[in-house]
Structure 1
Amino acid sequence: MLFYFSIHWTCNINLILYLFLLYNNKRFIFSTFVCPTEIIAFSDRANEFAAINCQLIAASCDSHFSHLAWVNTPRNEGGLGKMQIPLLADKSAAIAKDYQVYNEATGIPYRGLFIIDDKGNLRQITINDLPVGRSVDETLRLVQAFQYTDEHGEGMPINKF
């Protein structure tokens, strides 16, 4: 489902890539300080993911206008600044609901991390509570581990990469 939506959203996504969706909670500005730290950290290391054939996408239930405002605000003023990854506006929360990170009671999605392989299979789901951020290092390790097991057909011990 995400591949279908993403392919129509941007022509840069190629089906041979691994896809990583970083889902952030709604209302970047009124939420926690965790959102920008995660998005910036993943964006700053996007080249490491690209080197292993993985496309990063950050998404939230904010509008593209909110995303634009955040990108146009320098990092030293609390914004995102220049980004190396696309920001997907899921204003209707359709993707958040499909991936079951949407909290109906609050109207705010949890922090979701999804790794989808080159065949469209969902390989990793991580859902964090709002105050806890996700690890770029662990995400990179997971993508490499899935790629290794796909190529070699064997298990991957912890801390191999």
Structure 2
Amino acid sequence: MKHTLISKKAPNFTASAVLNGEDIIQNFTLEHFYGSKYVLLFFYPKDFTFVCPTEIYAFQEKIRDFEQRNVQVIAISTDTEQSHWAWLQIPKEKGGIHGVTYPIVSDINKTISYNYGVLSGNLILDQNELKATGELISYRGLFLIDKEGFIRHLLINDFPLGRNIDEAIRMIDALQYYEKSGEVCPANWTKGKRSIKATHRGLLDYYSS
């Protein structure tokens, strides 16, 4: 069983990706953003499906919010870069994701999904035959990576359960507030609300006021 990736260095990868909805590149790498940007990396199961485009567009609709927070959004699935590109050319009203501008990475070898602990299914050796149990596709994983390349928040949903993009933004706000102030963020914290000084006295002050 893989250990949690929280507080660990995010597994780096170099893979093919589609940028700006139209350009295919072969050497897209996560390390490119280290030292300059936060990264919100999210996995989705398949192109040309049902829940996936609702999430992909929901991230796109909030892209200005992410950019204002210096966050690079990156999507990944186990489809090919050609499949990503084709889907990006189809209008929304016809089931496509035209208009999405953030990078969409191809994990055709399944290694990125495996290294992040979101690959469904398993490969087994049965009487010298390699077999798959279940589809080798990604669960709905989401990873918030800080500017030094460390994973500070993660969420993994089963296939039928779409994610809340506002919650992802809330977690970014909480991380950035903590980095700036040193104060920690209590339950249901949102930007502008009270935080807690990371001391016993700070906690008493929080509950007594």
TM-score (norm 1): 0.90
Q: 1:17 aligns with which of 23, 37, 40?
A: 37
**Identity of counterpart residues, as a percentage?**
36
Aligned length, in residue pairs: 158
Deviation per CA, 1:80-131, whole angstroms, max 9, x where unpaired?
A: 0111211011111111000010012321211000000111111111000000
Judged with a 3 Å threshold, the aligned counterparts in structure 2 of structure 1 residues 99 and 3 are, in CA distance, closer, same or farther, namely closer
Higher helix share: 1
Query: TM-score, length-normalised on structure 2?
Result: 0.70
Please show how residues 1-161 of structure 1 align to structure 2 within 5 Å: 2=10, 4-5=12-13, 9=28, 13=33, 15-25=35-45, 27-29=46-48, 31=49, 33-104=50-121, 105-106=133-134, 107-157=136-186, 158-161=188-191
More strand by share: 2
- Superposition deviation, residue 13 in structure 1: 3.1
Where 1:58 maps in the other structure, the secondary structure is: strand
SS of corresponding position for 2:72: strand
Q: Match of 1:13, as an amino acid?
A: F
- Is 1:22–1:57's contact at 8 Å kept on the other side of the alignment? yes
Which ranges of structure 2 fall in alignment gaps of 5 or more residues? 1-8, 16-26, 122-132, 192-209
**Counterpart-to-counterpart distance in 2, 1:86 and 1:37:** 17
| Distance of 2:74 and 2:11 partners within structure 1 | 11
Larger radius of gyration: 2
CA contact (8 A) 1:112 1:127 kept: yes
User: What 5-or-longer segments of structure 1 have no aligned partner?
Assistant: none
Counterparts of 1:120 and 1:36, CA distance in 2: 27
The letter of the residue matching 2:89 is N
